[in-house]
Structure 1
Amino acid sequence: MALDHVRDFFTNVHYDPTDLSQTNIPLFFTRFITHYCAPVFVFLSGVSIYLGLSKGKSKAAQSRFLLTRGLWLVFAEITLVNIGWSFDISMHFLVLGVIWVIGWSMIILAALIYVKPLYVGCFGLLLIAGHNLLDPIRAASMGSGSWFWKALHESAIINLSYDRKLYLLYPLIPWVGVMALGYWGGGLYKQEAVVRKRILLRAGCGALLLFVVIRWVNIYGDLVPRVVYNEGWKTVLSFINVSKYPPSLDYLLITLGPALIVLSAIDSVQVKASNPALVFGRVPFFYYLLHLYLARSLGYLAAVLTGVHSAEQWTGFGLPVVYGVWLFVVIILYFPCKWYMKFKAKRNDWWLSYL
């Protein structure tokens, strides 16, 4: 996640890194590896919601928490996150991204938790597997109601006024299905470890196998079909070059599949409290906000130091600098995140559950 955002702020590449007509292998995989962030985080959010209920919290209390937390995340996306992206407090160009869709998914799950987890999981699978059937439906044909379809299933820009635009980057479908699937999957963590590891491994391998079959058939599962190029490396990259906005079935299979395999592999691993993965994992939203503001600030500092006075003059840097800045951001943020993790562990203030 941080790597992708640092690349946005620092790169000298001003085209889509997955555009096979222009990209190269290192640049492609710098972008591709970050595809795993959103689906894994949304899925694990669903798991966390299930485990919250299993710890004795009533459904009514959990539902209220999900509703208020979801509303807070939606508000935070519109304000704190968007300002962090652009430092434009007037917010002339609003982007509704991953925090937005996590918030709405929580709001919807606030109602779904009253249903049996099995049914919630089936609902999630239905959205994930079947939502590409909705691809032929386009918002442009819906007139004044087009904004509603864009919010549901079509990433698009909405003109709010002559100088204000809204970019619905993360539509609800199928993201709410990913969280619903995670909620159902949370039940695995109430079973014996050997059973859980076996199911996670089989599910992950099955998802990858299904991805290969669907992508090979090349009829359904993604807005952008694979292409056979004269260059072999482009043909290979085309096979895994899946659509994220909105996330296709192929995209979710190739990201959640390996994630389930990794979850199976690390199931019994003991992690020290100072492990960076654990530190960042316990304060994810705090880390998200800090990394965004830090990366954007470093981007502005780099522009000033290189004598850039406008966005049009910015040329950016190559991948070595991008990776260096990314490592710097992650290392620096470890310390405030560790402090905040310890602070949360010592306190029971209600507001700590929202940051």
Structure 2
Amino acid sequence: MQPNKLIQEPSATALKYRIQSVDILRGIIMIIMALDHVRDFFHIHGMDGDPTDMATTTPLLFFTRWVTHFCAPTFVFLSGISAYLSGLKKTKAELRSFLIKRGLWLILVEMVVVTFGITFNPFYNIIILQVIWAIGLSMIILGLFVGTSPLVILITGAVIFLGHNIFDYVKVSDTTTAGKLFQLLVVGPRGVFPISSNRMFLVFYTAIPWTGVMLLGYSAGRIFNKTVDSARRQRLLTVIGLTTVAAFIILRLLNSYGDPAPWSTQKDNITTFLSFLNTTKYPPSIVFSCMTIGPSILLLAFFEKRRSKLTDIFTVYGKVPFFYYIIHFYSIHVLCMIVFFASGHRFKEAVDPNSFAVFRPFHFGFELPVVYLIWIGLVVLLYKPCKRFSKYRATHSQWWLSYL
């Protein structure tokens, strides 16, 4: 069967519609994501410990961090799918314009709104670049590609996705401006990029590898076209998901190309297994991306025909991911500030030079069980605001709603 018979191009009169499985999975991802950020602010070793350090971690601490690894790659991949679905009701020129403007908007929001939510520093001595910045730049690049063919987008995404780990074997100088930009965009792990003597970028997400994920997500969006029936979409997603998971296992067993951090035998079988799962996120290696995106694609297949009260709850969060993302940071930080004062700290202790966040001292917080309780409480607290905003979006059509 020829590809154009399997998945047809959308008609110019394609109507707006939502894929419930995408909203369900995105909602699950948003809920899990909050666990990682609650851990950052409330775990006793959130600042001075590494949950993926095989010498010091515990299975529960490792899992608490590892499960949140699924969030960023899945969210970026789903953003690509959403970009495709958004384009069903736009011309290519309209889609290009929308993606570029929304990408610029997201980068601005990351630097101004999200950074302040994380730091509570009105002087912006630290400007944080995380997943929203990576999505924003990826959208701009995708916008530049939408005028080309679907095949060009697919091949470009695959080349970036499969090929960027070649730079693991290349030494890139960080002493020149060009070298610093190359590290910022292509090869660098998370790090500090000074702007002035008292201001810096704290970069967690190297943007171009994430662009490969978004381009592949955009290409996968064709599977969610109305012209593809549900059963066929489920089969396609299952095959793609299983293939991606198999690629993760094979590449990780080979323990060579695909991840700069090889796994190794540890003190016991459990820790050795954790080492096997401990793939590189900064920047996302092929192995890391296959490990996380593969199961997520299988979940898309699983949720294709499943609805329940639980999936309806997930959908509430999944329909308003940007709204949820913003308010969850501010909610976490306000709660941290309350706990800060309630635990006896004074205002003069609010700024710790070893911490990037005001009201979050370097040595502060609780053990993991309390962190989980705070996380659950936060998710429950944000349910009604998300539901109300989702209803507002569904009943209003102001232009700015498409940017949220």
Shorter-chain TM-score above 0.5 = yes
Match of 1:117 in 2: 150
The one of 140, 156, 159 equivalent to 2:194 is 159
Distance in 1, matches of 2:304 and 2:215, equals: 21
Match of 1:98 in 2: 131
Deviation (angstroms), 1:274: 9.0
Match of 1:183 in 2: 218
Unpaired runs of at least 5, structure 1? none
The one of 389, 393, 402 equivalent to 1:340 is 389
Match of 1:82 in 2: 115
Matched letter for residue 283 of structure 1 = V
The farther-off stretch of 136-145 and 153-162 is 136-145
Match of 1:248 in 2: 285
Matched letter for residue 39 of structure 2 = R
Deviation (angstroms), 1:269: 2.1
The one of 327, 342, 347 equivalent to 1:305 is 342
Instruction: Provide closer, same or farther for how the CA distance between residues 233 and 272 of structure 1 changes in structure 2, counting only shifts above 3 A.
Output: closer
Match of 2:344, SS? coil
Deviation (angstroms), 1:206: 1.1
Deviation (angstroms), 1:197: 1.1
Unpaired runs of at least 5, structure 2? 1-32, 353-360
Could you give the per-residue CA deviations for residues 60-89 of structure 1, whole angstroms, max 9, x where no partner exists?
Answer: 111111111111100000000000001001
Note if contact 1:214-1:250 (Cα within 8 Å) is conserved in structure 2. yes
Instruction: Tell me, yes or no, if structure 1 residue 35 matches structure 2 residue 95.
Output: no
Q: What's the TM-score once normalised by structure 2's chain length?
A: 0.85
The farther-off stretch of 6-15 and 45-54 is 45-54
Distance in 1, matches of 2:197 and 2:157, equals: 38
Match of 1:219 in 2: 256
The farther-off stretch of 157-166 and 182-191 is 157-166
Matched letter for residue 135 of structure 2 = I
Match of 2:42 in 1: 10
Match of 2:339, SS? helix
Distance in 1, matches of 2:181 and 2:171, equals: 11
Could you give the per-residue CA deviations for residues 155-214 of structure 1, whole angstroms, max 9, x where no partner exists?
Answer: 321122222121221112210011100111011112122221111111111111111111
Deviation (angstroms), 1:142: 5.2
Match of 2:325 in 1: 288
Runs of 4+ in 1 over 6 A off after TM superposition: none
Matched letter for residue 162 of structure 2 = A
Distance in 2, matches of 1:123 and 1:274, equals: 34
Distance in 1, matches of 2:291 and 2:362, equals: 38
Match of 1:237 in 2: 274
Note if contact 1:59-1:113 (Cα within 8 Å) is conserved in structure 2. yes
Distance in 1, matches of 2:362 and 2:161, equals: 42
Q: Which has the higher contact order (CA 8 A, sep 6+)?
A: 2
Identity among equivalent positions (%) equals 40
The one of 49, 55, 58 equivalent to 1:24 is 58
Note if contact 2:173-2:180 (Cα within 8 Å) is conserved in structure 1. no
Report the number of matched residues. 354
Distance in 2, matches of 1:77 and 1:150, equals: 19
The one of 207, 210, 218 equivalent to 1:172 is 207
Matched letter for residue 52 of structure 1 = S
Instruction: Provide closer, same or farther for how the CA distance between residues 105 and 241 of structure 1 changes in structure 2, counting only shifts above 3 A.
Output: same
Note if contact 1:132-1:220 (Cα within 8 Å) is conserved in structure 2. yes
Deviation (angstroms), 1:230: 2.6
